[in-house]
Chain A
Amino acid sequence: GEDVEQSLFLSVREGDSSVINCTYTDSSSTYLYWYKQEPGAGLQLLTYIFSNMDMKQDQRLTVLLNKKDKHLSLRIADTQTGDSAIYFCAETIYNQGGKLIFGQGTELSVKP
């Protein structure tokens, strides 16, 4: 079945790195995504990785994918207070018409 799991909370100090983890169960995932949602706002796509890739880097963001363990992580370098938000991991499954399976979301709190 389809299931995406994340820890619910993460608290870091400004300037530190944040690592948000996600596990998924469906091995036929095609794309895996990280979305950011600030309070009262919609979802913003941060980055995504195709399932045959191991790593993707985009400025302060690094995505690591361990397909064997079905584990995805998002590292935010030099975390700022503006990074405080809920981060959702999501996957799409081949042949399911673009349906996104979301994790529960990790609430990142960045303290000055």
Chain B
Amino acid sequence: DTEVTQTPKHLVMGMTNKKSLKCEQHMGHRAMYWYKQKAKKPPELMFVYSYEKLSINESVPSRFSPECPNSSLLNLHLHALQPEDSALYLCASSQEDGATGELFFGEGSRLTVL
């Protein structure tokens, strides 16, 4: 299994809603990532988890809250988002978090904030 699975594929939410994005991998990877991508722009790193601990937080607003319940799962909890947070949210995983290998990306969750 060489897939990173993200759910839901599409999400529409209001600014007062609370929702979560989910990501799962069964490749035994110990590093997992959240990226945000606007249309036709490169992905921007949000968070990195290494061995289930948050290792990088790229100054992301607190309305985004990551969680890594175990080595296979990564969640992104969303609360009180703004319309400008509408984007494609990509999850990725790699064997380790060092510069030693490739990232496997999921297909993304497309978020629209009304």
**Shortest distance from the beta carbon of B72 to any chain A beta carbon, whole Å:** 18
B61 at the interface (CB under 8 A from A): no
The distance from the CB of A104 to the nearest CB of chain B, in whole angstroms, is 6
| B: interface residue count bin | 20 to 34
The range of chain A's interface size is: 20 to 34
Q: A88 to B41: give the CA distance in the assembly, Å.
A: 10
Q: Are B107 and A100 in contact (CB under 8 A)?
A: no
B40→A107 contact, CB < 8 A: yes
Q: Chain A residues near B110: list those with CB within 8 A.
A: 40
Nearest 10 pairs of A and B residues by beta carbon: A102-B42, A92-B99, A30-B99, A98-B97, A42-B107, A43-B105, A42-B105, A42-B108, A97-B97, A45-B102
Which A positions have Cβ atoms within 8 angstroms of B? 30-31, 33, 35, 40-45, 48, 86, 88, 92-100, 102-105, 107
**Chain B interface residues (CB < 8 Å from chain A):** 6, 31, 33, 40-43, 45, 48, 50, 55-56, 90, 92, 94, 96-108, 110
